[in-house]
């Protein structure tokens, strides 16, 4: 069985300051690795420093659209992790530029430096997908496989949840001003929400050399949940009652087209609506081949256990919310 490497000392983490990145950085630091967080804005990455000892974590400037900066970021490193991804396009940050060619530049730079790579993609990545997001993710995976072969591990998580996530937090925030929540396509799309800490642990094990080189792992939580079930679970945690209104696919696509033209972070885009047409769960093939969290010995955390630890702030009176009042339907 091929393994990635034997305990590298310096790990370059592309996207190390993001939602998943800070948890990966923490997992690596606990293992004693020196972390080089390669990010576009090092001046905005100071929050990483408390995650390790003095001098253990350093942020450097890198942009996946510029191959020279990628090569500089891996110079002298013993391994690399690519976490960079975008949910919607903006300016020069396009799907192809970041998730296809950016992945290519990282893989080629690692190959040139002779170091292994853990590449984070997504369940549903497909070079022939109708979704630009999934298509660019799939093509990025192809570049990694072609370039590094057994010297890379690919991780495909389902929807990731945790304190800074863009899913449960977004819909919980909507309850503050909206009397209803949208169920796109009727809310039947299935997810397998996976806790960010579990994903970070799996990635760190890849760096440890404990996973199969050249393999693609699919990371999902212990429960498959419909879109509707996810929102119901969130509403129960924040102790609010909101109507769940089904939105037909055609109407959701129109809304996505409108929102993506607005300034700022769009509520949803037309491409994200396309993604929602397909279930986002771990495949049976991955389960049978033990290319899952359970297969590598990680006891995945449940949505029920984790959501209350960070969604309490969306209750009417935060963590001091009176449960009796909630039962009466207030909020």
pLDDT string in tens for the chain (331-residue length): 344 545 459 999 999 999 999 999 999 999 999 999 999 999 989 999 999 898 899 999 999 999 999 999 999 999 999 999 988 877 788 888 999 999 999 999 999 999 999 999 999 999 999 999 999 999 999 999 999 999 999 999 999 999 999 999 999 999 999 999 999 999 999 999 999 999 999 999 999 999 999 999 999 999 999 999 999 999 999 999 999 999 999 999 998 888 877 777 777 889 999 999 999 999 999 999 999 999 999 999 999 999 999 999 999 877 665 554 444 554 5
Chain center to CA of 295: 20
The predicted-structure confidence for 223-236, as pLDDT tens digits, reads as follows: 999 999 999 999 99
pLDDT on residue 158: 97
Count of Cβ atoms closer than 10 Å to residue 148 Cβ:
22
* Two tokens, residue 304: 């029920």
Q: Nearest CA to 184 among 253, 267, 259, 261?
A: 253
Reported as half-sphere exposure (CB side, CA atoms, 13 A), residue 253 has a value of: 7
Distances (CA, A) of 208 to 9, 199, 202, 214, 250: 10, 14, 10, 15, 46
- Identify the DSSP state of 318: G
pLDDT on residue 152: 97
pTM: 0.91
pLDDT on residue 95: 87
Phi, psi for 243 (deg, rounded to 5):
-70, 140
Under 8 Å between Cβ of 78 and 5 = yes
Distances (CA, A) of 136 to 87, 127, 191, 284, 290: 11, 7, 20, 24, 26
Work out the burial of residue 4: count CB atoms within 10 Å of its CB; fewer than 13 is exposed, 13-18 middle, 19 or more buried: buried
The predicted-structure confidence for 69-101, as pLDDT tens digits, reads as follows: 999 999 999 999 999 998 887 778 888 899 999
Helix axes 196-208, 19-30, angle to 10 degrees: 50
Count of Cβ atoms closer than 10 Å to residue 297 Cβ:
11
d(CA 88, CA 232): 26
């Amino acid at each position: 069985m091929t393994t990635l490497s034997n305990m590298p000392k310096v790990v370059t983490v592309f996207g190390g300051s993001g939602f998943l990145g800070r948890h990966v950085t923490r997992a690596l630091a606990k293992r004693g690795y020196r972390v080089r967080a390669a990010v576009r804005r090092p001046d905005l990455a100071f929050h990483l420093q408390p995650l390790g000892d003095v001098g253990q974590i350093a942020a450097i400037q890198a942009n996946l659209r510029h191959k020279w900066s990628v090569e500089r970021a891996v110079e002298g490193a013993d391994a690399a992790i690519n976490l960079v991804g975008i949910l919607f396009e903006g300016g020069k940050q396009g799907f192809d530029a970041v998730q296809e060619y950016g992945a290519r530049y990282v893989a080629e730079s690692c190959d040139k430096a002779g170091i292994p790579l853990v590449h984070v993609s997504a369940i549903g990545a497909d070079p022939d997908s109708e979704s630009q997001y999934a298509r660019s993710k799939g093509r990025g995976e192809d570049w990694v496989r072609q370039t590094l072969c057994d010297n890379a591990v690919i991780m495909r998580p389902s929807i990731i949840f945790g304190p800074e996530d863009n899913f449960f937090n977004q819909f919980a925030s909507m309850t503050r001003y909206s009397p209803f929540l949208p169920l796109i396509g009727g809310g039947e799309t299935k997810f397998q929400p996976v806790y960010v800490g579990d994903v970070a642990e799996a990635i760190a094990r890849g760096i440890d050399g404990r996973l199969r080189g050249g393999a693609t792992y699919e990371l999902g939580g212990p429960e498959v949940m419909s879109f509707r079930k996810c929102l119901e679970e969130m509403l129960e945690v924040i102790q609010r009652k909101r109507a769940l209104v089904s939105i037909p696919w055609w109407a959701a696509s129109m809304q996505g087209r409108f929102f993506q033209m607005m300034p700022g972070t769009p509520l949803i885009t037309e491409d994200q609506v396309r993604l929602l047409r397909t279930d986002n769960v771990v495949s049976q093939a991955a389960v049978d081949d033990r290319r899952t969290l359970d297969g590598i010995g990680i006891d995945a955390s449940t949505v029920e256990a984790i959501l209350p630890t960070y969604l309490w702030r969306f209750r009417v009176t935060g963590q001091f919310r009176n449960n009796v009042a909630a039962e009466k339907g207030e909020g």
